[in-house]
Structure 1
Amino acid sequence: MDTSQSTKESGDIPIAMTDSKSSKASPPPLVATTTKKTTKKPLVSRWKRALGVLDFILRICAIGATLAAATAMGTTSQQLPFFTQFFQFKANYDDLPAFTFFVIANAMAGAYLVLSLPFSIVCIVRPHIIGARLMLLVFDTIAVPLVTAAASAAASIVYLAHNGNSNANWVAICRQFDDFCQRVTGAVVASYIAALIFVVMVIVSAVALRRN
């Protein structure tokens, strides 16, 4: 009796020990860590996709601004109704190299923006992509000084057209060529708006790359 009880008791003891070992060997639950990872990734994807949509909208606005500036300046011409036998009073944008550079720079920026739209769409579809976003950041950064330089050069000529310069005996021509001055002034304003949009696009691309 004692031996059977001892064997039973001794048999009960390893069963309890195996249960404790199995409970100790079982891995701890990782539910909390997996849920954090799975919830973090969709949030980052949504944030990057929102930045991609904002970038696409800004590019559409910049296309309108650059093409409007180039078109307004490139079609600016005014001829005064009075003229003499030898002189005809007429003002064209291509009479001034600054205005010609303005048209070329804004047209180049507008063409680049049109070509960049597919890459912007790729950044929306695949928000974690780095190559396309980095390429847009580089070319947007190059476009900022180009458009700004064209707008600044044209703005200096527009200022002289409105105010003149008494020291250099340059007469303000906007009193006679009022339509010409209004169109070139509007083109310069549109170009500055495009330059500002380019700056915002550079910031958006930099933020999207930083969150990688």
Structure 2
Amino acid sequence: MADIQTKVVQSPPRRSHKIFVTAQISLRILAIAATLVATWVMVTSKQSMEVFGIKIDAKYSYSSAFKFFAGANATACAFSLLSLVAVSVLSRKGSDPGHYFFLFLHDMIIMSLLMAACAAATAIGYVGRYGNTHTGWMAICDPFGKFCNRVSISVLFSYLSFVAFLILTVISANKSRQIQV
């Protein structure tokens, strides 16, 4: 009778650990895909037009905020791949909460990096789309609509990866604080 009760008591933590690992892997794959798409779309976004015989280009590399954004997303993608490997290794070793603290730190750092990159790109994108009448900056999205739409798509995917890392941070923090009995 005691053996049956022990099995019933041990079953929920194993199921909980399986759900945790599945969520970790799924969210990391989502984050990898989103950051990869955000990087690729931003790096390949460019548009040219000719005004009075002068060729004018719009490229992500003309803005330091967009270069930072692309670099941050590429970095987040690479470190997400490494963390996916780490989660796979940790899931085989067991669920020692001490190991998950490092995942929490990783997720928090990458989430903060993505938050900064998204904020920078959003600010510059807003000025590009709407201009700033107080400073005399003109909106460029009317003549460079294709470029602006691609930048918007890239920023949207990056926000998706930010949300994935926010969720990963919360569940990693929760897992790392659990005390095993």
Q: Shared topology, TM-score over 0.5? A: yes
Listed as ranges, the matches of 1:1-212 within 5 Å are: 31-32=1-2, 34-84=3-53, 87-211=54-178, 212=180
Are the structure 2 counterparts of residues 46 and 123 from structure 1 closer, same or farther at C-alpha, using a change threshold of 3 Å? farther
Q: Percent identity?
A: 33
User: Is contact 2:99–2:176 with CA below 8 Å preserved after alignment?
Assistant: no
Where 2:142 maps in the other structure, the secondary structure is coil
Any gaps of 5 or more consecutive residues in structure 2? none
Where 1:165 maps in the other structure, the secondary structure is coil
Structure 1 runs of 4+ aligned residues shifted over 3 Å read 34-38
Q: Distance in 1 between matches of 2:156 and 2:129?
A: 15
Tell me the amino acid that sits aligned with residue 102 of structure 2: M
Tell me the amino acid that sits aligned with residue 204 of structure 1: I
Q: Distance in 1 between matches of 2:150 and 2:99?
A: 37
Tell me the amino acid that sits aligned with residue 128 of structure 1: S
Please provide the CA RMSD for this pair.
1.6
* Aligned match of 1:22: none
Q: Distance in 1 between matches of 2:4 and 2:172?
A: 29
Q: Distance in 2 between matches of 1:69 and 1:83?
A: 34
Q: Distance in 2 between matches of 1:155 and 1:120?
A: 31
Shift of 1:187: 0.7
Tell me the amino acid that sits aligned with residue 167 of structure 1: H
* Aligned match of 1:12: none
**CA offsets, 1:133-154, max 9 Å, x none?**
2211111011111101000100
Shift of 1:82: 4.1
Tell me the amino acid that sits aligned with residue 129 of structure 1: D
Structure with greater contact order relative to length (CA < 8 Å, sep ≥ 6): 2
The aligned length equals 179
Q: Distance in 1 between matches of 2:61 and 2:46?
A: 9
Tell me the amino acid that sits aligned with residue 148 of structure 2: C
**CA offsets, 1:107-157, max 9 Å, x none?**
000000011111111233344233432211111011111101000100011
User: Is contact 2:49–2:56 with CA below 8 Å preserved after alignment?
Assistant: yes
- Range 121-130 or range 45-54, more displaced: 121-130
Could you say which structure has the larger radius of gyration? 1
